[in-house]
Amino acid sequence: MHEMSIVSALVEQVRAFVPVDATLLSVRIEVGALEHLDDDVLRSLFGLLTEGTPLAGAGLAVERVPLRVRCAACGTEHAPPDPAALFCPSCGVARPEILAGSGVTLSSIEVDVPEGGE
């Protein structure tokens, strides 16, 4: 289960951004279509890894990013209906350059900072 290492790294990254006196309300991540990650597992692990910490109680929103590629042979950009079928619809070559839909990105955090805080 590689979700554990991803969520562990996410929690550490979020910790670095949240001011000491602030309350973390929510975290939003973008997960590419090529990533084999389960949204429910990501959310469960986030709750588990933040339990008993200043980050506890925050929600994790997962937004899926569709796959978008450009054919290296002819330059056609397209969204393959199946990530396993990366043949270009124009020329039939399978030389995709990934434009979107891979990786996991921390896109935003929402915090409540007490009046007079940072």
User: Residues 60-78: pLDDT tens digits?
Assistant: 999 999 999 999 999 999 9
Find the mean pLDDT for residues 2-31: 95
Mean pLDDT, rounded, of the chain: 93
The Cα–Cα gap between 83 and 77 comes to 14
Distance CA 67, CA 42 (A): 20
Q: Is the confidence at residue 1, as pLDDT, over 80?
A: no
Q: Sheet with 23-32: list strands edge to edge.
A: 59-65, 23-32, 104-112
CA-to-CA distance for 108 and 30, rounded, in angstroms? 9
pTM of the model: 0.86
pLDDT at 9: 96
3-state secondary structure of 97: strand
**Which residues in 74-87 are b (16+ Cβ under 10 Å) and which e?**
eeeebebeebeebe
